Amino acid sequence: MSSDSNRRMVILTDGHSNPLTAKTACSVLRYCQNEVIAVLDTGAVGQTAEQLLGTGGTTPVIADLDSAPDAKTLLIGIAPPGGKIPAHWRPIILNAIARGMKIVSGLHEFLADDPEFSAAAVTAGTELVDVRNNDEHDVANRVGVRSDCLRILTVGQDCCVGKMVVSIELTRDLIARQHQAKFVATGQTGILISGDGCPIDCVVSDFISGAVEKQVLAGQDHDILCIEGQGSLAHPRYSAVTLGLLHGSIPHGMVLCYEAGRKSIHGMPEIGLTSLDVLKSAYESAANLMMPSQVIGIAMNSRLLSAEKAEDERHRVREEFKLPVCDVFRHGPGELTEAVLTLKQQIQSR
């Protein structure tokens, strides 16, 4: 999906190679594996990316950049709360710069604002790319939004439950079924994968809905937009991002995403999750402040469950909500795709 098929990336996850913290790495490996040469984690040398991160096939894990002499790009592969670069990564990044590699980061702390990194990049004549850097300064206007371009937003019970992945898998399935669908990226990883989008969590608050609206307007040459959700309405840290995205994209339908078995807010173990039931109502009420909208399906991330437990959970949630429920990896996104197409027909026939 990327706009640059020759990035030749090494993904840096050193010491942080778990699927939640290293979600940028995992998603880029999953959707752009042919552009990734290696994963750099000194503690896991000899493993494959698939063994270390659960995705990425035989992509090797290496200990240093000497093992990847033809790499062109070093990608910072993690997204920690607060978004700062781990201190022990500095020499690795400086080494990559000295080799003339492009450094790509989706962190809140910009590479270009770091005097040591930026001086080194000038010396080496290479580029520092901060995917989250933006200059969004326009408010939403609600002008020119097409009523016949279906907007589907993924919403979640928490951060890091798979909203981006659900939006991408849904888009791919719609395209496979001959629909003009587009994945609209709203976070750094989605942007790295798709080659466009807006890092909305790094937009100044007054302009978040405006920034999202711009993405919607830019995508309206398609018939269906699958918009990447962010955070959760019940997240103590990031609910503002979630609502700005919801009200900026004014979706016709929402897919509610959650991880089965999770008990507390990601990164805040002392704060319990809000129930799916309460959250479904909260999303629908909040969306309906702007435009009629409903949750049309539930995407279950069942990575913590056995196949049997996952079936039980799927059955339970289907019964509770009377909605399509699936794990897009385990079951494929088909049921959700059909719910999207049903909604499209309903809206067209109004």
Q: Based on the shown chain and the rule CB under 8 A, indicate whether residue 247 belongs to the binding site for a second copy.
A: yes
Distance of closest approach, residue 274 Cβ to a second copy, in angstroms: 6
Residue type, 274: T
Residue 220 beta carbon to a second copy: minimum distance, rounded to whole angstroms: 18
253: enclosing H helix or E strand: strand 253-259
**Distance in angstroms (rounded) separating the CA atoms of residues 238 and 51:** 31
Residues in the chain: 350
CB 138 within 8 A of CB 210: yes
Residue window 171-190: x/- pattern of binding to a second copy, with contact defined by CB under 8 A: --------------------
Q: Which two tokens stand for residue 197?
A: 């989008």
CB of 242 to a second copy, least distance (A): 8
Q: Which stretch binds a second copy (CB under 8 A): 52-60, 202-210, 325-333, 341-349?
A: 202-210
Q: Which is nearer to a second copy, 241 or 257 (CB)?
A: 241
Q: Across-strand partners of 150? A: 224
Half-sphere exposure of 121 (CA within 13 A, CB side): 18
Which of 277, 289, 292, 332 contacts a second copy by CB under 8 A? 289
Q: Are 167 and 193 in contact (CB under 8 A)?
A: no
Between 208 and 227, whose beta carbon lies closer to a second copy?
208
**CA separation, residue 38 to residues 67, 246, 331 (Å):** 9, 36, 29
9 or 250: whose CB is closer to a second copy?
Answer: 250
Which member of 6, 58, 70, 82 binds a second copy (CB under 8 A)?
82
Which residues here bind a second copy, judged by CB under 8 A? 81-83, 108-109, 137-142, 200-206, 208-210, 233-234, 236-244, 247, 268, 270-271, 274, 278, 281-282, 285-286, 289-290
